[in-house]
Chain A
């Protein structure tokens, strides 16, 4: 694996055959996957979606002690104002503010200025320079400025080659920035002793509440964990090469990091389903326990936690409740398992993407849920509105980005953005929220009665996959 030699990570479509648009039988995608020819689909009508730049900014905002320069027009840094609020400590950042003149003549000088300014003022462990569509299209020379200032300032500067258009899935950005960090950090060649933390916990997008639950579980096992990139630092990357094993929280997002640590530094990577639901959490902990010789401790922990959760959820009854789930792929399957453990039924599923990593899950899913169509979309609430009108589920679980529109369709909705859904605690949280959402639908009804969804009536008469087409190369 010489993947780090490349300027940037390969896009997800090339690396894992990722598709971002689909609606139909899960079995069809499975067959394509098995044949090794997952076909690319596109939309002829689309709504807002994230690009790689947003993923990069999201990830970098979880990493401590780094500065970020967004090299582009002002709007490319807009989301920083939002992501900033997610962290206890805010990372310094600046935008190079490219204007019309710069789009023709290049923005080297502004880039230099931004790097020097942030370095002189904050002295962070590293500075990430994030490219944008304008820089990518004009093929601006970012590397020369970075190289020059590395020597001049004696600081680690890491160029991240985002572009906004090469991949159809914003998730590519996680790989792009992890690639950049792994490529440019000064790892000592061949250095690998067993002195590091026992386990690397690879977390990219987990919220604060979820991180807390993971940390609680690992602490209960007396495990010393090295968290990265979320709630870690650049030093966490350096320490990662000395761990005994890496485990991912959401395998979709941290896959690249796990693979590189395994291929370059021989740290075995446990790519498991996220710790969601009682069984899912047990499976996640069990694999970790097996890798570290802690089977007995995991067993004991599971027994205690399971009985605590059992007491908590005994008061709920969700039989006959039909749940629609719209979440990033690995989370969606995990939450599906979780709600089924609570006795509810899965009525339908929207996932952000499908790729090679999902083959075993797709296999399970199409076997256990042969009647459910699988919707692959990031956002695209127009498709969701059409699907929900047909399925009429009792409750919707997703991120607020999508849950809002489900609520406007009159479906009880629950958003998980800031909830702890992972681990044993997650089961209790989800049950409690579900119960509230189902028991008092008054706000949702007010919302539904007061507003209309922005779609033309004939749209609901069409098949919701109407605007998804096979891509013509």
Chain B
């Protein structure tokens, strides 16, 4: 039985699949559900993910069958047939993805048959079975990525020869990670420094063509628990090995460590790594010196709680404690991890700083999240807009880093890697200084 959730930030599998599909250039969704489902994704997914836009054919433009009562009673397969037929006539796309909602799956519409029919007529139509009740947004991402890779093979007889230096990036979920675009670009630029080409799959510069190259990668890089199943599938299917990175690497040390791990799996010249190290350590040293004045004047060394998705929280907590002197007292992982994955995450993060225990929790219910933050008496929150209430109650500054983000517009910002970590320091420090300047620290401990 499911548990009720206060202020749920992890939407359903359907929404996950829809927003995943919408992050790929040239792909049009065909929603087969009651009206409302696509709009829920637009309002509750896009707009509150740092005001992510509708893009090419999202938001109000997403094709949707909007099934009505008679199609619930007598079945909606023929309505879907009509909608597919007309979508390919009206909407220009390289790939059409049918996404059923709860209603049409429950009443048993024969969706595969309708999709097959369209394929037989030569239209590039696929089907992702991720109705809302099947799971949460993360499962929707897994199902969509796997489904697209699997079914794209119907339409391309492309070679599967490995491309030297090509790696796929998995586990960063468009929208659910509010910085997904920036993170992907930062990873791409880091990998380019050591001569590797990142196939980031989503956003700027990606297309169906890059998805067709997925089987040709030499390695799959997994940046959150939500990429593991996909990586396993790709290993079984195409023999591509994978490397799971515990948390998105942030800052010079973690990013270099990540590159060293990667070097073992996919060798590149030591000189290349050494060159990166020289440059990035120099950059870091420069900014460390620059930020020192404000660091001491405004007491930036805070006891902090981080609330958000596992991959990002692990990365940021590591960087902020190891390089910026913060004390992570609480880490709340809000993505519902399988039990099997929790132990490793806890072990990694419960003692980040000697003399301070870090409370690690897996929680997505607002009441319980707030309780955890409250009883730890932290001085700074890195969390989502949903934590504004507890931040106000405790009178502490809040920097938005996790979905949902309603009060910031995010285009290319990233908090990871070499450059992103500097941006994080800028934003985090600004957030504390601005908060002081507004006089909110009057009764601040």
Spell out A's residues near B (CB within 8 Å): 42-54, 69, 72-85, 90, 92-103, 105, 107, 109-111, 113-114, 117-118, 121, 133-134, 137-138, 164-166, 168, 170, 379, 381-382, 401-402, 404-405, 451-452, 454-456, 458-459, 467
- Cβ-defined contact, A133 with B34, below 8 A: yes
> Taking the complex as formed, is B310 at the interface, i.e. its CB lies under 8 A from any CB of chain A?
no
Verify B406–A107 contact, CB threshold 8 A. Answer: no
Alpha-carbon separation in the docked complex, A424 to B136 (Å): 47
User: Which of chain B's residues have a CB closer than 8 A to the CB of A117?
Assistant: 4, 6, 367
Q: Are A78 and B62 in contact (CB under 8 A)?
A: no
- Min Cβ gap B436→A in Å is 25
Complex alpha-carbon distance, A467 and B106, angstroms? 27
Say yes or no: B6 contacts A138, CB within 8 Å: no
List 23 A-B residue pairs with CB atoms under 8 Å apart, sorted by A's residue number. Answer: A45-B82, A45-B83, A47-B38, A47-B64, A48-B60, A48-B61, A49-B66, A50-B36, A77-B11, A93-B6, A94-B5, A97-B2, A99-B135, A103-B102, A103-B106, A113-B3, A117-B6, A133-B101, A134-B133, A137-B106, A168-B68, A401-B59, A459-B89
Question: How far apart are B152's CB and chain A's nearest CB, in angstroms?
Answer: 20
Q: Which residues of A contact B385 (CB under 8 A)?
A: 85
**Please, which residue of chain B has its CB at the minimum distance from the CB of A77?**
B8
How many angstroms between the C-alpha atoms of A81 and B404 in the bound complex? 7
Interface size on B, as a range, is 35 or more
Which residues from 1 to 38 on chain B have a C-beta closer than 8 Å to any C-beta of chain A?
Answer: 1-15, 28, 31, 33-38
Residues of B within 8 A of A405 (CB): 60-61
B63 to A94, Cβ gap below 8 A? Answer: no
Contact partners of B48 in chain A: CB under 8 A: 81-82, 85
The distance from the CB of A194 to the nearest CB of chain B, in whole angstroms, is 41
What is the CB-to-nearest-CB distance from A301 to chain B, in angstroms, rounded to a whole number? 37
> With A97-B2, A103-B133 in contact, is A76–B82 under 8 Å at CB?
no
Binds A, one of B90-98, B113-121, B177-185, B413-421: B90-98
- Answer whether A76 and B133 are a contact pair too, CB < 8 Å, given A51-B34, A404-B54: no
Residues in A with CB closer than 8 Å to B15 are 75, 78
Asked whether B4 lies within 8 Å of A78 as measured between CB atoms, the reply is no
Q: Determine if B86 is an interface residue (Cβ-Cβ < 8 Å).
A: yes
User: Which residues of chain A come closer than 8 Å to B123, judged between CB atoms?
Assistant: none
Q: In the complex, are the beta carbons of A133 and B61 less than 8 A apart? A: no
11 more CB-based (< 8 A) A-B contacts, given A78-B41, A456-B91: A43-B66, A48-B61, A75-B37, A76-B40, A78-B12, A94-B8, A105-B1, A107-B2, A165-B35, A168-B66, A454-B28
Given contacts A49-B39, A75-B37, A85-B406, contact A100 B6 (CB under 8 A): no
Among candidates A73, A92, A95, A165, residue contacting B133 with C-beta atoms closer than 8 Å: A73
Q: Which residues of B contact A456 (CB under 8 A)?
A: 89-92
The answer, among A48, A73, A92, A164, for a CB contact under 8 Å with B6, is A92
- Decide: A82 near B47, CB < 8 A? Known: A47-B60, A455-B92: yes
Contact A138 B90 (CB under 8 A): no
Answer whether residue B322 sits at the interface, using C-beta atoms and an 8 A cutoff: no
Q: 4 smallest A-B Cβ distances: which pairs? A: A78-B44, A51-B36, A75-B12, A114-B4
A137 touches B11 (CB 8 A): no
Interface residues of B, Cβ cutoff 8 Å to A: 1-15, 28, 31, 33-45, 47-48, 54, 56-57, 59-69, 71-72, 82-83, 86-87, 89-93, 101-103, 106-107, 132-137, 367, 385-386, 389, 404, 406-407
User: With A97-B3, A102-B1, A133-B103 in contact, is A75–B91 under 8 Å at CB?
Assistant: no
Q: Which of A85, A109, A454 contacts B91 (CB 8 A)?
A: A454
| Contacting residues, chain B, for A74 (C-beta < 8 A) | 5, 8, 10-12, 132, 136-137
A77 to B132 Cα, complex, angstroms: 11
Given A100-B133, A101-B1, does the pair A49, B35 have CB atoms closer than 8 Å?
A: yes
A454 and B2 form a contact (CB under 8 A): no
Q: Which of B4, B8, B82 contacts A44, CB < 8 Å?
A: B82
Question: B34 — which chain A residues lie within 8 A by C-beta?
Answer: 51, 133, 164-165
Contact B90 A459 (CB under 8 A): yes
* CB nearest to B388 among chain A residues: A90
Q: Take A45-B86, A99-B133, A117-B6 as given contacts and tell me if A137 and B45 are in contact as well, using a CB distance cutoff of 8 Å.
A: no
Determine the distance from Cα of A107 to Cα of B36 in the docked complex, in whole angstroms. Answer: 21
Q: How far is the CB of A76 from chain B (nearest CB, A)?
A: 7
Given A103-B106, A455-B90, are A46 and B66 also a contact pair (CB < 8 Å)?
A: yes
Cβ of B133: which chain A residues have Cβ within 8 Å of it?
73, 98-100, 102-103, 134
Q: Which of A47, A98, A459 has most B Cβ within 10 Å?
A: A47
Residues of chain A contacted by B386 (CB below 8 angstroms): 81
